[in-house]
């Protein structure tokens, strides 16, 4: 009878050891999963004038704003971006003049103040910067402009 009791204890120990080992491995797998940084908020935009368009994404970073987009110019056109904190202008950029072409038109806007920019204006003009054809404002916290 002692023999059977020993076998039972030995079998129980083996099961307990296997369960503990599995739990340990599972715990290591969960513990080893890397923490991911939260993505920066984004806003998508499209501005159109006739067949010309500028379409892309505003990425709201801590002390800068990245604007990525595709610019399709029919005729000669330029696109612009201005970053603001409320009504205070922080940075301003423009593309070169594009004529009857499609190209990437990214902007890196510096917004080196606490909290960064809370709005970005985007607009399209003819080759004359004062001849504004269409525009849109994007606001931090809104996914679509």
Whole-number Å distance between alpha carbons of 16 and 19: 5
pLDDT digit of tens for each residue in the chain (145 aa)? 444 444 444 554 444 444 444 444 444 444 444 445 569 999 999 999 999 999 999 999 989 999 999 999 999 999 999 999 999 999 999 999 999 999 999 999 999 998 899 999 999 999 999 999 999 999 999 999 9
pLDDT given for residue 55 in this prediction: 98
Joined together, the tokens standing for residue 119 give: 């709005």
pLDDT given for residue 58 in this prediction: 98
Joined together, the tokens standing for residue 37 give: 């940084």
In 33-98, alpha helices (H): none
How much is the pTM?
0.73
pLDDT given for residue 22 in this prediction: 46
pLDDT given for residue 115 in this prediction: 84
pLDDT given for residue 27 in this prediction: 45
pLDDT given for residue 36 in this prediction: 52
Longest dimension (CA), the chain: 101
Number of alpha carbons in the 13 Å side-chain half-sphere of residue 141: 5
């Amino acid at each position: 009878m002692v023999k059977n009791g020993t076998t039972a204890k030995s079998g129980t120990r083996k099961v307990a050891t296997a369960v503990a080992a599995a739990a340990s491995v599972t715990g290591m797998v969960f513990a080893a999963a890397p923490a991911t940084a939260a993505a920066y908020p984004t806003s998508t935009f499209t501005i159109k004038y006739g067949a010309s368009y500028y379409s892309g994404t505003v990425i709201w970073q801590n002390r800068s704003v990245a604007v990525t987009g595709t610019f399709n110019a029919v005729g000669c056109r330029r696109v612009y971006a201005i970053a603001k904190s409320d009504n205070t202008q922080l940075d301003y950029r423009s593309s070169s003049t594009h004529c009857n072409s499609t190209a990437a038109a990214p902007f890196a806007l510096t917004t080196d103040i606490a909290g960064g920019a809370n709005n970005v204006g985007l607009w399209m003009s003819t080759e004359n910067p004062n001849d504004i054809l269409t525009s849109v404002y994007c606001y931090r916290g809104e996914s679509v402009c």
